[in-house]
Amino acid sequence: MRVASLQMTSGPDRMQNLRVASQLLQQAADQGAELAVLPENFSLMSVSDQEKRALAESEQHSSVLDFLSQQASAHQMAIIGGSILLRGDQGLLRNSSPAFDADGKLLDIYDKIHLFDVEIDGESYHESSTIQPGHAPVVVQHGAFRIGLSICYDLRFPELYRHYADAGCHMVSVVAAFTAQTGKAHWQTLLTARAIENQCYVIASAQAGTHADGRKTWGHAMIIDPWGEVMAMQEAGEGVVMADLSLARLESVRRMLPALQHRRNIPPILP
């Protein structure tokens, strides 16, 4: 299966972001992609918490979900719609990754489980002040491939990806907006680890560059195979990277080094 990972530098103008996404999706389709993966917050970035609440849409009436459905149907290409803001409970929002089949049907929506509440060298992020955490992994099927969905900070929690391996996933999507600081230090290392330890493909989309509010994101959208080899990468700037995924390659890796079969139950350490 030919897949595309997209990289953007999204800003506060939703319509402009959708125009850029449309252009990149067209590029992916023109190159024969059967699945395209957009980055986290692809339709809206660099806005205040108040603006996020005002601009968030309901799952039932979302112009962005409609856009993604139309794009998938028009190109006959499955789309993982990065992540978008949807209204949640009690005044909070959901950071949600929707998946569409090639006919534009919404397959499922994954809500980000692990929220980015950190302070690193003067940079402060408190995602939980506006976002409610998701509660469950989500797996979708496209052709012969089972795909586990995840968002950005989830990448640091390997147990989520082991759930996906146990569920028979061949691929995981990581839609992200890693900061330049944490991305330089950890992004590729974490992606490679998730691919190797779960012997699956990793499709990582990214935000890249300097955004309207001055935030800098790392970029380096990439596709990694089950052996940990980087198949394609876009270091900086907006663009599309492509790769052809093979179940035969995945099965070969799992036969050659059957680590998933060699796992043992480890009892908890008692105090």
More confident residue, 144 or 124: 144
Beta bridge partners of 142: 145
pLDDT tens per residue across span 74-104? 999 999 999 999 999 999 999 999 999 999 9
DSSP track, 239-253: EEEEEE--HHHHHHH
Rounded mean pLDDT of the chain? 98
Residue 271 is assigned to a structural domain of this protein: no
Report the SS3 class of residue 240: strand
Is residue 223 within 8 Å of 203, Cβ to Cβ?
yes
pLDDT tens per residue across span 139-158? 999 999 999 999 999 999 99
Distance from C-alpha of 214 to C-alpha of 242, rounded to nearest angstrom: 29
The CB density around residue 270, as the number of other CB atoms within 10 Å, is 4
Distance from C-alpha of 40 to C-alpha of 46, rounded to nearest angstrom: 12
Residue 166 is assigned to a structural domain of this protein: yes
Given the residues 112, 169, 200, 238, the one annotated as active site:
112
Q: Per-residue pLDDT for 72 more than 90?
A: yes
Spell out a b/e string for 98-129, using b for 16 or more CB atoms within 10 Å of the CB, else e. bbbbbebebbebbbbbbbbeeeeeeeebebee
- CATH number of the domain within which 160 lies: 3.60.110.10
pLDDT bin (cut points 50, 70, 90) of residue 107 is very high
List C-alpha distances in Å: 132 to 43, 54, 114, 191, 241: 19, 16, 10, 25, 31
Beta bridge partners of 204: 174, 222
Residue 270 is assigned to a structural domain of this protein: no
Residue 20 is assigned to a structural domain of this protein: yes
Q: Which domain holds residue 175?
A: 2-258
Instruction: Kindly state the DSSP code that residue 116 receives in the 8-state scheme.
Output: -
Q: Look up residue 92 and give its two tokens.
A: 């909070």
Residue 46 is assigned to a structural domain of this protein: yes
Distance from C-alpha of 224 to C-alpha of 155, rounded to nearest angstrom: 14
Given the residues 152, 169, 200, 238, the one annotated as active site:
152
Give the pLDDT score at 122. Answer: 80
**Average pLDDT value for residue range 159-187:** 98
Given the residues 40, 169, 200, 238, the one annotated as active site:
40
% of the chain surpassing 70 pLDDT: 100
Give the pLDDT score at 128. Answer: 96
Note if 105 is an active site residue.
no
Which uninterrupted H or E stretch holds 150?
strand 145-151
**Total structural domains within the chain:** 1
Note if 229 is an active site residue.
no
Residue 250 is assigned to a structural domain of this protein: yes
Residue 264 is assigned to a structural domain of this protein: no
Q: Per-residue pLDDT for 113 more than 90?
A: yes
Residue with tokens 């099927």: 141
Give the pLDDT score at 121. Answer: 79
pLDDT bin (cut points 50, 70, 90) of residue 251 is very high
Is residue 82 within 8 Å of 120, Cβ to Cβ?
no
pLDDT bin (cut points 50, 70, 90) of residue 246 is very high
pLDDT bin (cut points 50, 70, 90) of residue 69 is very high
Residue 135 is assigned to a structural domain of this protein: yes
pLDDT bin (cut points 50, 70, 90) of residue 50 is very high
Which residue, 113, 158, 162, 106, is CA-closest to 136?
113
